[in-house]
Amino acid sequence: MKASVALLLLVVAIYGFQRTPPSALKSSPFSEQRADTDLRTIVGFGPRPAGSEALAKARSYIVSELSKAGLKPQLDEFDARTPKGFRHMVNIRAMRSGLKPTIIALTGHYDTKVFDRFFFTGANDGGSS
């Protein structure tokens, strides 16, 4: 009995780890090159702490790109207390209707933390969101 269960688990594991042939994969609109361009553009604005001109430029770029993709960005503006005092904050929302009534939320932030001792552009954090 133990041998049969072990054999069954082995077959399931082998079958489960088989790769899907490339011809069976659906094409995706995702582009590594485009993602790299977007990341470099956003990081190119420099550090983007709350309330900064660089953050406003990044926001403008993101809103523009979302609009080009057929989405309708909306800005949610508010003031918040931070360790550096009150700062004006702006969230960006964009929605697209789908075929199903489910909701998928993709979230991230595009600002960066403030560091006095070094230049922090957030390429692996706020820039890649």
The amino acid at residue 102 is T
Residues 79-110 have pLDDT tens digits of 999 888 999 999 999 988 888 888 888 888 88
Quick check: is 118 in a domain?
A: yes
Residues 23-82 have pLDDT tens digits of 555 666 788 999 899 999 999 999 999 999 999 999 999 999 999 988 889 999 999 998
Distances in Å between the alpha carbon of 82 and those of 16, 79, 105, 115, 120? 48, 10, 26, 14, 18
Quick check: is 13 in a domain?
A: no
Is the pLDDT score of 6 beyond 90? no
pLDDT for 19: 58
pLDDT for 33: 92
Number of structural domains found in the chain? 1
pLDDT for 8: 52
Quick check: is 20 in a domain?
A: no
C-alpha torsion angle, residues 25, 30, 31, 37 (rounded to 10): -160
Is the pLDDT score of 10 beyond 80? no
Quick check: is 81 in a domain?
A: yes
Quick check: is 17 in a domain?
A: no
Q: What is the span of the domain harbouring residue 118?
A: 28-129
Quick check: is 10 in a domain?
A: no
Quick check: is 87 in a domain?
A: yes
Separation of alpha carbons 44 and 58, rounded Å: 9
Q: What H or E segment, with its residue span, contains residue 90?
A: strand 85-93
